Amino acid sequence: MVHSQPGLERLHVLDERGGRKYVYPADVRGRYTRVRPWLFLLLIAFYIALPWISVGGHPAVFLDIAARRFFLFGRTFNAQDFYLVFFLLTGVGFSLIVLASLLGRAWCGWACPQTVFVEGIYRRIERLVEGPAAHRQALAHGPLTLEKLGRKALKHALYLVITFVLAHLFLAYFVSADKLLRMLADGPRAHFGTFLWGLGLTIVLYWNFFWFREQLCLIVCPYGRLQSVMQDPDTINIGYDHRRGEPRGKLKATGVGDCVDCRRCVAVCPTGIDIRNGLQMECVGCAACIDACDEIMGKVKRPPGLIRYESERVLNGEPRHFLRPRMYLYTALGAIGLLASIILWARHLPFEANVLHGRGTAYVLDGDLVRNQVIVHLLNKNAGPSVLSIEPVPPGSGAPPLEFIIPQARVSLGSLEGLAVPVLIALPRTAYHPGMKAQLRVQDSASQSVRLLEVPLSGPNLRSAAARP
Ligand code: SF4
Ligand code: SF4
C-alpha cells in the first residue's frame, strides 16, 4: 500500500493544496483491537436506545425543544430549569478535562460517538464491501471498472440506508420515539417539516461518516483542539519509546534499536500519522499502532510495548508523576460542578409553584378587613398527571388571624400542564403592619413533595398614618 511519509509540517490528511486526502488504514489485530468492536457495539446500542427506553412513562432522554420541555431519566424539566444544565455541563466538562489530563484522548479513541460510529459501523462496511486497505486504495485510484462501480454503489447504498435509519433514530431524541413511529406511519406529507429535518440530518451524517471522518476530530471538535492545554508531560498517552526504538533500522542491521522501520504503525493509523515523530494533535488515541507494533515485535521476537500507553516523562527516562497541581485543580472543579448538579438535581421538585400578584391594586379595603388577592401559578413537571393541592399554613400563636379563600384548593394537572389559581387572604385592617407575610403549603400527590410559599401582604400603614401630625 502506498503511503506518503507523514511529517509534522502539515496535517497528513491534507495535500499540498489543502485538499482532502482520504486515509485507508490497514487492518490490525491485537488486544485493544479485540476489545473495541464489543465496546463500540455496547455504546452504539446505548446511544441509540436512550430515547426508546421508558423511565416513569417518558423516554429516558427526550429533548422537546419545540415545547421547551426536557425529559431526562424520569425527571421533567422546562426552560426555567436550564440553570441545572449549566452545573451538569460544568461537571461533565471538567470530568472530561480530568480524563484528558490523566489519559489523554481516551474519550476520543474509545467512546466519542464520532469514533464509535465510524469505526463500529462505517469502516466495517467499507472493509466488508471493498476488502482490505490496499484493495480499497487501489480501487479508489484505479480506472472505473464494473467491479469498482458495483462495490462503490453497494457501499454507498448501505451507507445511505444505515445513515437514514440512524438519522431517524437520532430524531427520536427530539420528537420522542412514540411520535417518531406515528410520523413514519403517517408518511412524509403529514409531517413535511420533520421529514426535511430527517433528510437534512441523513445528508449531514452521511457526509460526515463517509467523507469528513477524522477531520471532525482534527478541525472541528473543541475538545480535540484543547488537548494540548489540558495535557502535560505526565499525561498517559499513546507514545513511542524512542530510547528503545532508535536508531531505527532493518532487522539484521547492527547498532540499531528495536524499531525495524516496518511502518506498520503508520499503515494502521486512521489519521495517517507516524507516532514515532512524537505525540501529535492528529492522534485520536485509538491504540491501533500499539497492536500493530506489538504484532511486529512478536514476529521479530522482541518484547512488546515499543509503542504503548505511557507518559512523555517516563518515555524520556524520568520518574513518573501521577498527582500534580493541575490534577488537583481539575478534579476539584469537576467535583464542585458534579456535586452542585447532584444536589440541585436531588432537590429539584417535580412541580412549580410561584406567587404572582393579581391585577389592579395590591389590596382592597372591605369594611374592617384588608383583602389581598394573589395568583399561585402551578405547573406539574411530573412525567404523568398529578394533583396539586394548596392549603394555608395557620399563623403562629400571637399572630393576627388570617382568612384564606382558595376556590381551587386541589387541581389535577397533566404532565407539564400549568394553572393560575387565585387566592384571597383577608385580615383585620387594624392587625395589618408592613412586612407581614402569609404562608401557603403546596403538595404534589405524585411525588408527595411539598413546597412552602411566602405571600407578602399589602395593606394601609395605619401606624405611620396615626403617627403623622
Ligand atoms: S498514532 Fe496510533 S493511537 Fe494515534 S491515531 Fe494513529 S494509530 Fe491511533
Ligand atoms: S510498527 Fe513498531 S517496529 Fe514497525 S515502524 Fe512502527 S514502531 Fe517501528
pLDDT tens digits, one per residue of 2-27? 445 666 666 777 777 777 788 899 99
131 near 262, Cβ under 8 Å? no
Distance 102 CA to ligand 2 centre (A): 25
Distance 213 CA to ligand 1 centre (A): 15
Neighbouring-strand partners of residue 374: 357, 423
Ligand 2, atom 2, lies closest to the CA of: 293
Distance 283 CA to ligand 1 centre (A): 5
Distance 26 CA to ligand 1 centre (A): 12
pLDDT in tens, 407-444: 999 999 987 789 999 999 999 988 888 888 999 999 99
Distance 165 CA to ligand 1 centre (A): 30
Ligand 1, atom 5, lies closest to the CA of: 283
Q: Provide residues with CB under 6 Å of ligand 2.
A: 240, 245, 259-265, 276, 292-293, 296, 306-307
Distance 253 CA to ligand 1 centre (A): 27
Which atom of ligand 2 approaches the CA of 260 most closely?
Answer: 3
pTM greater than 0.85 (yes/no)? no
* Closest ligand to residue 227's CA: 1
- Distance set, CA 90 to CA 6, 86, 256, 296, 325 (Å): 37, 6, 49, 43, 20
Which atom of ligand 1 approaches the CA of 25 most closely?
Answer: 7
Q: Provide residues with CB under 6 Å of ligand 1.
A: 238, 268-271, 273, 275, 283-289
Ligand 1, atom 6, lies closest to the CA of: 269
Distance 230 CA to ligand 2 centre (A): 28
Residue-level pLDDT, tens digit, the chain, 469 residues: 444 566 666 677 777 777 778 889 999 999 999 999 999 999 999 999 999 888 877 788 888 887 777 888 877 787 777 777 777 777 788 888 888 988 999 999 999 999 999 999 999 999 999 999 999 999 999 999 999 999 999 999 999 999 999 998 888 999 888 888 898 888 888 888 888 988 999 999 999 999 999 888 888 888 888 888 888 899 999 999 999 999 998 888 888 999 999 999 999 999 989 999 998 888 999 999 999 999 999 999 999 999 999 999 999 999 888 778 888 888 888 788 788 878 887 887 888 899 988 777 878 898 889 999 999 999 988 877 899 999 999 887 778 889 999 999 999 998 778 999 999 999 998 888 888 899 999 999 888 889 999 999 988 876 555 544 4
